């Protein structure tokens, strides 16, 4: 008699008609069914992922902390001694070269926090000709810094990402759910909500105002709501028209950067059928603006591909990390795409 086929590694139905979620991490397959409802992104994440990938090794490694890895390894192992993929070995090799760059530079972190706090204060206490550029600049840099701190898995910096809401006005909870989906399902139509929009250019300027509104509505974390309200109390010490104009300028600038990063690159309409490294390279666009000022104003998004491969690297370390990552990628025959912003 021929042996029975292996059950699907992604999802199966038990006799009780209960959906089962199984994924491969390195050389083992884990049953994460019981944990799925407890996951920060909820069961819906696993429902999205099951149709895309059987092996989610690199997708897990790029975003998760050591604590999350312990949780994964505590789940039931249903298969072991699986041969680790060559792509996973390549990623491991590259990660080892930049692992020391994951940790924050606390001097830079402190200077950013002080500078952005002073920028917010100056923006709400000055005349319009000083306030508008100051609020816009502060919002742009604070947005990128909030993005960077939310990605980092240093326990202290990760906790500080929540009170940063006082400066940039966003909810960390809302951002995590929205943005991590983008990193997992990059340019997958129907699952990546950050792409395939048909906004007119004049609408770009409403980016931050819309995000603040969405963030407020979606924030179920009481601490987040408190920080967002404090932000609103502070900014409305300034005249409303000044604040709105500054936000429009900041939103337009950042939207141009973000749309250029992915919108014109390769898209998946049915299934992500490429390995992780190739997936991130073909769906991302870098910019040839690598000086320190561009890095501050773009938040490292000119190194979008390197960021998608290793999102835990703080944005101010990306210029140096990019040299190492590109060198190692070239060894495996990969080449990052560099193009124009618009």
Backbone angles phi, psi at 40, to 5 degrees: -55, -30
Q: Which of 86, 73, 273, 61 is nearest to 187 (CA)?
A: 273
pLDDT of residue 115: 97
Alpha carbons 305 and 188: distance in angstroms, whole number:
16
pLDDT of residue 6: 44
Per-residue buried b or exposed e for 182-199, using 16+ beta carbons within 10 Å of the residue's own CB: bbbbbbbeebbebbeeee
CA dist list (Å): 52 to 45, 295, 311: 11, 33, 21
pLDDT of residue 220: 64
Identify the DSSP state of 9: S
Alpha carbons 32 and 10: distance in angstroms, whole number:
10
What pTM value is reported for the model?
A: 0.92
pLDDT of residue 3: 43
| Contacting residues for 304 by C-beta, under 8 A, at least 6 apart | 261, 262, 284, 285, 286, 287
pLDDT of residue 15: 41
| Contacting residues for 294 by C-beta, under 8 A, at least 6 apart | 287, 302
Residue pair 187/262 in contact by the 8 Å Cβ criterion: yes
pLDDT of residue 58: 96
* Helices and strands (H, E) in the chain, number of each type: 16, 6
pLDDT of residue 7: 44
Backbone angles phi, psi at 240, to 5 degrees: -60, -40
Identify the DSSP state of 238: S
Alpha carbons 193 and 183: distance in angstroms, whole number:
11
What are the pLDDT digits (tens) for 230-257? 999 999 999 999 999 999 999 999 999 9
Residue pair 20/76 in contact by the 8 Å Cβ criterion: no
User: What is the DSSP code string of 96-126?
Assistant: HHHGGGSS--HHHHHHHHHHHHHHHHHHHHS
Pairing, β 338-339 against β 76-79: unpaired
Alpha carbons 172 and 46: distance in angstroms, whole number:
21
Alpha carbons 23 and 87: distance in angstroms, whole number:
16
| Alpha-carbon torsion (240, 258, 115, 210), positive or negative | positive
pLDDT of residue 2: 40
pLDDT of residue 272: 96
Alpha carbons 274 and 187: distance in angstroms, whole number:
12
Bridge partners for 339 per DSSP: 287
pLDDT (tens, 9 = 90+) of the chain, 342 residues, equals 344 344 444 444 444 557 899 999 999 999 999 999 999 888 889 999 988 999 999 999 999 999 999 999 999 999 999 999 999 999 999 999 999 999 999 999 999 999 999 999 999 999 999 999 999 999 999 999 999 999 999 999 988 888 889 999 999 888 888 899 999 999 999 999 998 788 899 999 999 999 999 988 887 666 888 999 999 999 999 999 999 999 999 999 999 999 999 999 999 999 999 999 999 999 999 999 999 999 999 999 999 999 999 999 999 999 999 999 999 999 999 999 999 997
**Number of residues that this document lists for the chain:** 342
């Amino acid at each position: 008699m021929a042996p029975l086929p292996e059950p699907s590694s992604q999802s199966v139905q038990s006799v009780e008609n209960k959906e089962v979620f199984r994924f491969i991490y390195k050389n083992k397959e884990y049953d994460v069914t019981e944990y799925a409802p407890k996951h920060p992104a909820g069961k819906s994440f696993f429902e999205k992922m099951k149709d895309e990938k059987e092996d989610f090794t690199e997708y897990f490694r790029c975003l998760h902390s050591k604590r999350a890895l312990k949780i994964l390894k505590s789940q039931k192992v249903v298969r072991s001694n699986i041969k680790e993929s060559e792509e996973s070995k390549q990623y491991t090799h590259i990660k080892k070269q930049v692992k020391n760059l994951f940790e924050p530079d606390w001097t830079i972190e402190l200077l950013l926090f002080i500078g952005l706090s002073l920028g917010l204060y100056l923006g709400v206490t000055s005349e319009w000709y000083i306030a508008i550029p100051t609020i816009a600049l502060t919002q742009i840099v604070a947005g990128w810094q909030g993005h960077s701190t939310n990605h980092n898995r240093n326990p202290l910096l990760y906790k500080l990402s929540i009170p940063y809401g006082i400066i940039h006005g966003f909810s960390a909870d809302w951002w995590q759910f929205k943005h991590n989906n983008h990193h997992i399902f990059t340019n997958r139509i129907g699952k990546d909500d950050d792409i395939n929009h048909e906004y007119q250019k004049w609408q770009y300027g409403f980016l931050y105002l819309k995000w603040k509104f969405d963030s407020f509505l979606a924030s179920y974390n009481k601490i987040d709501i408190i920080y967002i309200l404090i932000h609103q109390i502070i900014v409305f010490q300034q005249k409303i028209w000044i604040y709105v104009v500054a936000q429009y300028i900041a939103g337009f600038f950042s939207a141009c950067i973000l749309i250029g990063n992915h919108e014109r690159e390769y898209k998946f309409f049915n299934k992500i059928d490429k390995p992780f490294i190739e997936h991130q390279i073909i769906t991302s666009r870098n910019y040839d603006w690598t000086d320190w000022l561009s890095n501050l104003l773009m938040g490292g998004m000119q190194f979008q591909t390197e960021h998608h491969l290793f999102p835990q690297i703080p944005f101010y370390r990306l210029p140096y990390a990019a040299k190492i990552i590109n060198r190692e990628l070239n060894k495996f025959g990969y080449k990052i795409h560099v193009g124009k912003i618009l």
